[in-house]
A and B are shown apart, each in its own frame.
Chain A
């Protein structure tokens, strides 16, 4: 009998104390707050896992007449829906994080970039913003947050594409460097953080760095909000400690017949049953030699599912959502899709899968942004682990 995983309640607990927490935090100096964030071990929850305190410090150090704080609420990764829940139930935590960040880096303007699929949240968010701006006035803080609506493009979750989109352009990623810390929205230094990352800063302000650091394992500190879907009797949003094995996760959330879990969405990795025990959920978790994406999308597939259908679905997604700017990704995604279809039909021999694997590796190395680079994650982990299903 395995013990069930501890469910945490830091993010969603609402004690109506945001004004007090904000006041308490702002009474400390910038360097102390940043040191706390760094000591807490908090890393970005949007995918790249960059240390949050360091991001704020770097942006603070750049001289500029204008800077911005942006909350990334584009949440387009298939299988994630936790940012929606955070924004609808505890928006004040996200806003508090943004205000503190604004004071630290010297920004007076913030934005929430909200995906159009979540437009129904706007009335609620506006109420939260009104309350927030009253607190800003009361505390004499010059910081205002607006909502910027996306218009249905997964790629706009990529930070530089998001800036382009806000500037009225096609959502096409920029070359990096320069990074947002120096050159973000309107070419100004910008902190861009995921919704959940900002909500975690609130927990750190409130409970202290120690308490956050005590959760999780080395290199993966704190709690993480997971979006659980697929073949599970209990789909939903769960806050769990970092560092569990995938086996423990499946024991709790699977339907008893899980054959694979897709961790991190279409851009993430597929882990087959035989590797559940060895796979650790956290930044240092080794999955096909690459650290685990941290978006928190967990899609469970049981033995009745065709992994060919799963891969086909992801590839269609990438073909549609590729911005088309660079050739490896624009052409590569289409070739991968046509390629697996041809093998399935029998028009190409099974050896052709190896060619496709090579192509996905080339995309990892040559595509301009994370979208094209990460297609190989799901492609190779599904094709290599479920080869028969691709062929027959």
Chain B
């Protein structure tokens, strides 16, 4: 079984083959591969016995599911007004500077994807961002350098 087929198969077995399992299945696939590609969607449709168009419609609706390959670490920087007021743009500049990418892009080494996101629910500690599932708050440019450094080390298993 090709790798993506086996991931889909495993997710469907774990979550159950019903329409109500579609979102959890897509979430599982995304967690594994950091992308949900067309092949995955067709495979999910086959597993759940629904149309691939329905799977596509659902997968493209949600901002935490991506149909383009994202990096190992997805950075979501909050752009809601209170984080803006507390210096979000400085943080964004620093991220762009050290990662050498713009929002929506992924570093060539496949480590980081940079995105801007709506309210992360950390407004009292802005500016805030999520890296995969982990919140980082009260950000400063210095802190950003340490955080990114930490994830780089994690990726290299230093």
What is the interface of chain A, defined by CB distance below 8 A to chain B? 75-81, 83-84, 115-120, 148-154, 165-171, 186, 227-231, 235-237, 299, 301, 305, 309-310, 313-314, 317, 320-321, 323
Contacts and interface: CB of A to CB of B under 8 A. Distances in A.
A170 B20 contact: no
Contacts of A117: 117, 120-121, 130
Interface string B109-146: 00000000111111111100010011100000000000
Contacts, number: 118
Interface residues of B, number: 37
Given A119-B133, A235-B123, A151 B57 contact: no
B19 A227 contact: no
A149 B30 CA distance: 13
Contacts of B80: 78-79, 313, 317
Contacts of B24: 148-149
Nearest to A165: B23
29 contacts: A78-B80, A78-B119, A78-B123, A79-B80, A80-B123, A81-B122, A81-B123, A81-B124, A83-B121, A115-B121, A118-B121, A149-B23, A150-B62, A151-B27, A151-B64, A151-B65, A165-B23, A167-B20, A168-B18, A169-B54, A170-B57, A170-B58, A170-B61, A227-B123, A229-B124, A230-B123, A235-B124, A299-B82, A313-B84
A116 B64 CA distance: 7
Contacts of B79: 313
A278 to B, nearest CB: 25
Closest 10 pairs between A and B when the two form their complex, measured CB to CB = A168-B22, A152-B64, A151-B62, A235-B124, A152-B63, A229-B123, A170-B61, A81-B121, A168-B19, A78-B119
B147 interface: no
The CB with the most chain A CB atoms within 10 A, among B20, B80, B135, is that of B80
Contacts of A166: 20, 23
Given A167-B19, A168-B20, A171-B61, A154 B82 contact: no
A28 to B, nearest CB: 34
